[in-house]
């Protein structure tokens, strides 16, 4: 654990790295738990959770996406007004009027931000044979995965084209990421 905190204090890390170190560590824990469950005494229960695309997606959403979504939502509406990574960079997430985000506004921002990630999961779980022996992608899956890249592209374009450097999800949620007065 001390190594993680040493790593988080390194000046070369930017806000994305710090936040994604947490997400990667959490994902690693999920992999270990999944392997343990998949080969342990609860194997039958584990296999039922991933028996079909719908149960697979719900299980993945509840165990992976929701905790990550809540990490961003709860930290950004907290008194810190930032995730660990944003805080490390001296950034705050505020309303366009400079106020602290309400839980609802923070949740809306996070939901919109993670639409491409969840849409990717929805598409992947519907590829025949996924994840061990994927077959040819059905046309609807191809459309969904292309839509993911369109949304990501729009988010990036809005960041660079907006005079205030807000992403589309920030504009729609009425949110700005700003430098902290103290940072």
Domain spans in the chain, listed from the N-terminal domain onward: 2-179
Q: What are phi and psi of 98, to 5 degrees?
A: 85, 10
CA 16 vs. chain centroid, Å, equals 11
Beta strand residue intervals within the chain, DSSP E = 91-95, 175-179
One digit per residue, the tens of pLDDT, for the chain of length 183 reads 444 444 445 454 454 578 888 899 999 999 998 888 878 888 888 888 888 889 989 999 999 999 999 999 999 999 999 998 888 888 999 999 999 999 999 999 999 999 999 999 999 989 988 878 888 889 999 999 999 999 999 999 999 999 988 999 999 999 999 998 765
Treating both helix axes as pointing N-terminal to C-terminal, what angle do 66-76 and 103-113 enclose, rounded to 10 degrees?
140
What would the DSSP string read from start to end of 12-32?
T--HHHHHHHHHHHHHHHHHH
Q: Look at phi and psi of residue 176 and say left if phi exceeds 0, alpha if psi is from -120 to 50, else beta.
A: beta
CA–CA distance, 100 with 81 (Å, rounded to integer): 7
Question: Where do we find the tokens 């992947």?
Answer: 124
């Amino acid at each position: 654990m001390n190594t993680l905190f040493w790593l988080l204090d390194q000046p070369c890390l930017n806000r994305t790295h710090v936040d994604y170190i947490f997400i990667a560590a959490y994902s690693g824990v999920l992999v270990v738990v999944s392997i343990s469950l998949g080969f342990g005494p609860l194997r039958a229960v584990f296999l039922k959770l991933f028996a079909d695309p719908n149960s697979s997606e719900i299980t993945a959403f509840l165990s992976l996406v929701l905790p990550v979504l809540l990490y961003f939502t709860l930290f950004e509406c907290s008194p810190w007004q930032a995730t660990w990574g944003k805080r490390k960079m001296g950034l705050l997430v505020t309303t366009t009027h400079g106020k602290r985000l309400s839980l609802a506004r923070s949740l809306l921002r996070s939901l919109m931000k993670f639409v491409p990630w969840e849409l990717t999961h929805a598409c992947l779980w519907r590829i025949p044979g996924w994840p061990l022996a994927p077959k040819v992608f059905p046309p609807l899956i191809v459309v969904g995965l292309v839509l993911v890249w369109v949304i990501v592209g729009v988010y990036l374009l809005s960041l660079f084209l907006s005079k205030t450097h807000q992403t589309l999800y920030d504009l729609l949620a009425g949110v700005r990421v700003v430098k902290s007065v103290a940072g």
